[in-house]
Amino acid sequence: MDSLTAHVLRFEAEVETPLRLPPLKGSALRGALFHALRRHFCVSPGECGGETVCALPALCPAGLLLAPVDPAGQRGNDPPRPFVLNPPLDSQTEYRPGDRLTFTLTTFGRALNQFPHTLIAVNEMGQSGLGASAPREAGRITRGQFRLRAVWASHPLRGEEQRIYWDRDPVVRVPRLPISHADVLASADRLGEPPRLSLRFRTPLRLVEQGQLVGPADFRFRTFFLRLHERLAALAQLYCDAPAPGALGSLLTLADEVTTADNQLHWVEVDRYSGRHGRRLPMDGIVGQVTLAGPLMPFLPYLVWGEISHVGKYAVLGHGWYEIGR
């Protein structure tokens, strides 16, 4: 993971027309971002395969971010996307003109090069509309509109911020607050040698083991760590030019020694509408808090990275978002 880097970008918008979003807002934000990127930057619209397969992923900004291809990888046409959305976590679903809408986009490695395209796409999202369709006074069916006010680069591990876009300033600045592996190691060092550590899942966690979804009572640190390690290794290889990871060896043995000291996890049922499938798809998962005990110190850098990268299925939509606590 030495070469892994991330940039956290916070987008702050002001709602201009009534806007409706589902309780879990990541899917709506990701869908709107994809369609805006595709409208503006798709280099081969006649051959575009939609949100999963890009005809020219090496050239297309939409494909690079949202439909990358890794023929040599185990997941082929479905490698991890080089970004993560952190949607608003409040329960608000109805937004009125003047309300604030804030979300975070975290990019990994070379995906930062697509920031200019992403900035244009988010502005396009605001103009073309976001969320569920709603009737307007003139009888037209439309989506809620917003105006992008500002974008901030954020370094959550150091508590630093840099404003890189402001709608009153024509100059767009380059984000200069990368999160490096050295930053993650420093943050892990500050945790010391904790005999116990808690993970609080802010959004549903979907882990799969032997083809089955892991339920709250079946949570095991070994499975969690394996999925997290796979995700971080893939992000580092695909977008940060890292070599293939070596065997985990003794780390897996230690992972088996990490136990669940307290389990306050529960299952939530949520879904999203998929235009590609033409139906609603389940996005159920685990939320709540689990307290771990055992030889945790070797895993701290992975866990700190996991706060940034998320873990499990639908991580790109905001799932698998957790915080470390004592």
> Tokens 């003794």 — which residue?
250
* Beta strand segments in the chain, E: 6-15, 19-20, 83-86, 94-95, 100-108, 130-135, 141-144, 146-155, 160-166, 196-205, 208-209, 212-213, 259-268, 271-274, 279-282, 285-293, 322-325
Question: Which residues lie below 8 Å from residue 90, measured CB to CB, with a gap of 6+?
Answer: none
Distance CA 77, CA 193 (A): 40
End-to-end CA, the chain: 24
- Please classify residue 87 by burial: count the beta carbons closer than 10 Å to its beta carbon, then call 0-12 exposed, 13-18 middle and 19+ buried: buried
Residue-level pLDDT at 239: 93
- At CA 131, angle to CA 7 and CA 320, rounded to 5? 45
Residue-level pLDDT at 143: 84
Domains in the chain, CATH or no CATH each: 6-166 (no CATH), 181-325 (3.30.70.1900)
Per-residue pLDDT tens digits of the chain, which is 326 residues long: 789 999 999 999 999 999 999 888 998 898 888 888 888 777 666 556 555 556 566 667 677 776 666 656 555 556 888 999 999 999 899 999 999 999 999 999 999 998 998 999 999 999 988 887 655 555 555 789 999 999 999 999 999 999 999 999 989 999 999 999 999 999 999 999 999 999 999 999 999 998 889 999 999 999 999 999 999 999 999 999 988 888 888 899 999 999 999 999 999 988 766 655 566 677 889 999 999 999 999 999 999 999 999 999 999 999 999 999 97
Radius of gyration of the chain (CA): 20
